[in-house]
Amino acid sequence: MRIPCPYCGERDAHEFATLGDATLTRPDPAAADADAQFHDYVYLRDNPAGAHEEWWYHANGCRQWLRVARDTRTHAISGAVAARATEQASGEPA
């Protein structure tokens, strides 16, 4: 499996570490039901068979966390962007 790292180019997946689902958002720790929200955040997964957004860390490369779009049935990778790029982009007005 080869991941198109936006910094390093296409690299074999063994250079990376993976952390799974990238659609989760860390809940507000001050929320009244923070314990329930954190339970869902830490433990529950959609675990889809098909399109999956997931975190990959280029441990033996640029050390960037990448948001990778990959299909869990075929392992086909349709793209990868740096976490920081998307996080900042999502914070900006459209």
**Interface residues toward other proteins, by CB under 8 A:** 1-2, 10, 12-14, 17-21, 26, 29-30, 34-36, 38-49, 52, 54-55, 57, 59, 63-65, 70, 72-77, 82-84, 87-88, 91
In angstroms, the CA 17 to CA 50 distance is: 20
Q: What is the CA radius of gyration of the chain?
A: 15
Note whether 70 and 79 are within 8 A (CB).
Answer: no
Choice between 13 and 94, CB closer to other proteins: 13
Q: How far is the CB of 8 from other proteins (least distance, A)?
A: 15
Choice between 91 and 93, CB closer to other proteins: 91
DSSP-assigned beta bridge partners for residue 69:
53, 79
Q: How far is the CB of 93 from other proteins (least distance, A)?
A: 15
Of the candidates 10, 19, 14, the one whose C-alpha atom is nearest the C-alpha of residue 83 is 19
Q: How far is the CB of 94 from other proteins (least distance, A)?
A: 18
